[in-house]
Amino acid sequence: MESSAKITKSIREQDVQAKWHVVDAEGLTLGRLASQVAYLIRGKHKPDFTPHVDCGDFVIVLNAAKIRVKGKREEQKEYFHYTGYPGGDRFRSFKDLVKNKPEEVIELAVKGMLPKNSLGRKMGKKLKVYAGPEHPHAAQEPTELKLSYSAE
């Protein structure tokens, strides 16, 4: 008798075909943008997704300074860092971080949605974030990716 069971193939690291995508963050909601970008970086949109292999794509996020959050988050959201020393709690507000380092807001949101291990750190390097509308990755021929939701 023939078996009707399907065999799942695991993709190998050297067989991965990584593409480049460009996302314009102007007017988009931070969390919704970050979840879509993390999905692409992880490679879950591909039919040959393999959890233990970095099979995702590169993502370029433009206009990070124009990202939005809903409600009172702009005033209330804080980013926490502990230096390791007594009294070493460091807090930065969302408002200040968007003004001074808008790239870091999106990087922190996306990296928080990736696996917390060496593979996740490797995947995090596939994210390129820029505060303005220009990027130096034209040679990679990235495709424009349109995300349709906004922070209204």
Whether 121 is covered by a domain: the verdict is yes
Domain membership flag for residue 86: no
- Rounded CA separation 41/39 (Å): 6
Q: Are 91 and 98 in contact (CB under 8 A)?
A: no
Asked if the structure places residue 7 within a domain, the reply is: no
Other Cβ atoms within 10 Å of 25 Cβ, number: 25
Largest CA distance in the chain: 70
In a domain, 47, yes or no: yes
- The enclosing domain of 123 has a CATH number of 3.90.1180.10
Domain that holds residue 120: 17-69+101-145
Q: Give domain status of residue 56, yes or no.
A: yes
The reported pTM is: 0.89
5 lies in some domain? no
pLDDT at 54: 95
Q: How far apart are CA 59 and CA 50, in angstroms?
A: 19
**Number of domains composing the chain:** 1
Per-position pLDDT tens, the chain of length 152: 566 778 888 899 999 999 999 999 999 999 999 999 999 999 999 999 999 999 999 999 999 999 999 999 999 999 999 999 999 999 999 999 999 999 999 999 999 999 999 999 999 999 999 999 999 999 999 999 988 665 55
